[in-house]
Homo-oligomer: A and B are copies of this chain.
């Protein structure tokens, strides 16, 4: 009994955590329930039911299948479903008409022939990357509706009426889903993307601001760094490419947006995301130095400490301000100043490396610090690129 009780408490805590992490999930679940209630009203209220009849089942299905978490995804699926149903219904009716010309015996053969040809062709089209990203669901529904209409036309006399009703109910269902999704606490995927990109930039900024302090502290302590969470934040960036691209594709369905109007900077976000990721690879190298190279600080190391710290703090500030620029869409005020400081510090560090007189220092002592310095110098142009992309 205790085991069961523990298990229940555990699950309850998981549920609570899931809800607390993102309360919009609970709102979304209730929205789905509401949309389904709305569509089932057509069943319960006699005058509405009389008009449409048992084909209402398609409207219910549409609501379940089309309703997604974000407005972009719901709109994309809804439009795909409506357009695909309409066009394939028309095509199905055309094929039905052709098949009736072939006589009673020829009809199934003609129907079967067209089903194979069209289903195979559309299935193949789904492999095109450009089609897959935006119209995959529509193509699936196209095959589905075409097969349904043309195959069942063999048994059903009122094909036109069936096709017409299917189109009407599906449009009805899509509208209910889209309206519920947009009107009650909408989740705009474009905004999600914007926040994701901004948070990613901020994570890099946080890392860089902490890095120099941690690095020179270790070097002094000679102690390895236990993985600190604020230094690990950037790791999710390394593999975020697919997520960002999917979000940008969905965001394109949100044709209108209350903040951007009709101009969509989604491509720009993907570009900023890519640049941020390239920068994150370099940061990953810096993080490796934190974890692997433990030694006391050489004389050389303490010499580069000041310009390195300067680079880290300036780039941290610049990145944080860029992140808030992306998030709040205001004009950055002091980014240019930070970047100028950054360039100066980077030039100075380069100059130091060039002119440092080696005497007979041990190479193994110098290299790790020099690597950090060179990687930091490498990070600077990345940040400049991100800043340029943000300004656009």
The residues of A with any CB-CB pair to B shorter than 8 Å are: 14-15, 18-19, 25-26, 28-30, 32-34, 36-37, 40, 43-44, 49, 54, 56-57, 60-61, 64-65, 108, 111-112, 115-117, 119-121, 123-124, 127-128, 140, 143-144, 147-148, 151-152, 154-156, 238-239, 241-243, 281, 284-285, 288, 292, 353-354, 356-364, 366-367, 370-371, 374, 378
Contact of A18 among B56, B121, B127, B367 (CB under 8 A): B127
Contact of A120 among B29, B123, B155, B284 (CB under 8 A): B29
Apart from the given pairs A40-B151, A238-B238, 7 other A-B contacts in the complex at a CB distance below 8 Å? A30-B116, A32-B143, A33-B116, A37-B115, A37-B116, A54-B156, A60-B152
With A30-B120, A124-B26, A371-B371 as known contacts, state yes or no: A61 contacts B144, CB within 8 Å: yes
Contact of A14 among B128, B288, B356 (CB under 8 A): B128
Give the CA-CA distance A188 to B362 in the complex, in Å: 56
Give the CA-CA distance A206 to B250 in the complex, in Å: 37
Give the CA-CA distance A127 to B68 in the complex, in Å: 12
Check A32 against B359 for contact (C-beta < 8 Å).
Answer: no
Give the CA-CA distance A15 to B121 in the complex, in Å: 11
Check A60 against B18 for contact (C-beta < 8 Å).
Answer: no
26 pairs, A vs B, C-beta closer than 8 Å: A14-B128, A15-B124, A25-B124, A29-B119, A29-B121, A34-B116, A36-B115, A36-B119, A40-B115, A40-B147, A43-B151, A43-B155, A44-B154, A54-B152, A61-B148, A64-B119, A64-B140, A238-B239, A281-B284, A288-B378, A353-B367, A354-B364, A356-B363, A358-B363, A367-B371, A371-B374
Residue ID in chain B nearest A358 by CB atoms: B358
Chain copies in the assembly? 2
Residue ID in chain B nearest A243 by CB atoms: B242
Q: Which residues in B have their C-beta under 8 angstroms from that of A36?
A: 115-116, 119, 147
Give the 3 A-B residue pairs with the shortest CB-CB distance, closest first: A33-B116, A33-B120, A44-B108
Give the CA-CA distance A29 to B116 in the complex, in Å: 9
Q: Which residues in B have their C-beta under 8 angstroms from that of A243?
A: 242
Give the CA-CA distance A74 to B197 in the complex, in Å: 35
With A120-B29, A371-B371 as known contacts, state yes or no: A154 contacts B43, CB within 8 Å: yes
Q: Which residues in B have their C-beta under 8 angstroms from that of A40?
A: 108, 111-112, 115, 147, 151
How far in angstroms is the closest Cβ of chain B from A310? 20
Give the CA-CA distance A40 to B242 in the complex, in Å: 38
Q: Which residues in B have their C-beta under 8 angstroms from that of A238?
A: 238-239, 281
Contact of A127 among B25, B61, B155, B366 (CB under 8 A): B25
Check B370 against A363 for contact (C-beta < 8 Å).
Answer: yes
Residue ID in chain B nearest A352 by CB atoms: B363
Contact of A147 among B64, B124, B156, B292 (CB under 8 A): B64
Q: Which residues in B have their C-beta under 8 angstroms from that of A18?
A: 124, 127-128
How far in angstroms is the closest Cβ of chain B from A187? 13
How far in angstroms is the closest Cβ of chain B from A4? 20
Q: Which residues in B have their C-beta under 8 angstroms from that of A26?
A: 124
Residue ID in chain B nearest A42 by CB atoms: B151
Check B33 against A117 for contact (C-beta < 8 Å).
Answer: yes
Residue ID in chain B nearest A239 by CB atoms: B241
Residue ID in chain B nearest A371 by CB atoms: B371
Q: Which residues in B have their C-beta under 8 angstroms from that of A65?
A: 140, 144
Contact of A360 among B151, B353, B357 (CB under 8 A): B357
Check B358 against A144 for contact (C-beta < 8 Å).
Answer: no
Check B358 against A32 for contact (C-beta < 8 Å).
Answer: no
